[in-house]
Amino acid sequence: MAISRRRSALPGPGVSARTAALRGPAAAALGAAMMIAAADDPAAHDAATGRQKALQCQACHGLDGLAKIPGAPHLAGQVQEYLVAAMRDYRSGARKNDMMTVVMRQLTDDDIADLAAYYANLDPKTKREQ
Ligand code: HEC
């Protein structure tokens, strides 16, 4: 139990909610395997991790993916690959915006994949309390 409690208390890239929900040594081994898989497989990134990372996007894009400031786009339900490409373009400088460039410079490829998974899986018709 102590192991699983410590594991689930560890936030960070690659540790999904699914991994944190598992218990016991066998689960720890499986969790490690999943983390390795997550390193190469974009589909392994999950929305739960993305939601935590989206706290830094909340002021402008909302946790519901609906724009909160004039000039920011809605992200909820957007095509996942498009979100990844847009974020990479801001990070590389291929696409420029004062606000987005600053935010994206801090993000890794894993962060971008998790965030895209989160926003792509939101229903744009569901406005949530923030
Ligand atoms: C300070 C406000 C602000 C914050 C914080 C912010 N954004 Fe943005 N974002 C914007 C604005 C404004 C645009 C539109 C920029 C443009 O015209 O290119 C944008 C554009 C985008 C786009 C392109 C959407 C499209 O339809 O092309 C994506 C994807 C995006 N943001 C994701 C994020 C993510 C993920 C985060 C958090 C890690 C984040 N943004 C944080 C303001 C913000």
Q: What is the pLDDT of residues 34-87, one digit of tens each?
A: 454 445 455 557 899 999 999 999 999 999 999 999 999 999 999 999 999 999
- Does 86 contact ligand 1 (Cβ within 6 A)? yes
For residue 70 and ligand 1, the question of a CB distance below 6 A is answered with no
pLDDT at 97 over 90: yes
Can you tell me which atom of ligand 1 is nearest the CA of 115? Answer: 35
103 and 80 fall within a common domain: yes
In-domain check, residue 125: no
Tell the residue nearest (CA) to atom 26 of ligand 1.
73
**13-24: pLDDT as tens digits:** 444 444 444 455
Residue 87 lies in a domain: yes
Q: What is the pTM (predicted TM-score) of this model?
A: 0.74
Apex 65 CA angle, 39 and 11, nearest 5: 40
Identify whether residues 52 and 116 lie together within a single domain: yes
Please check whether residue 129 lies inside any domain of the structure: no
Range of the domain at 74: 47-120
Token readout for 17 is 């909610």
> What is d(CA 15, CA 25) in angstroms, rounded to the nearest whole number?
16
Q: With bands split at pLDDT 50, 70 and 90, how would you rate the model's confidence at 7?
A: very low
Question: Considering its fold, how many domains does the chain have in total?
Answer: 2
Tokens at residue 10, please?
Answer: 């560890």
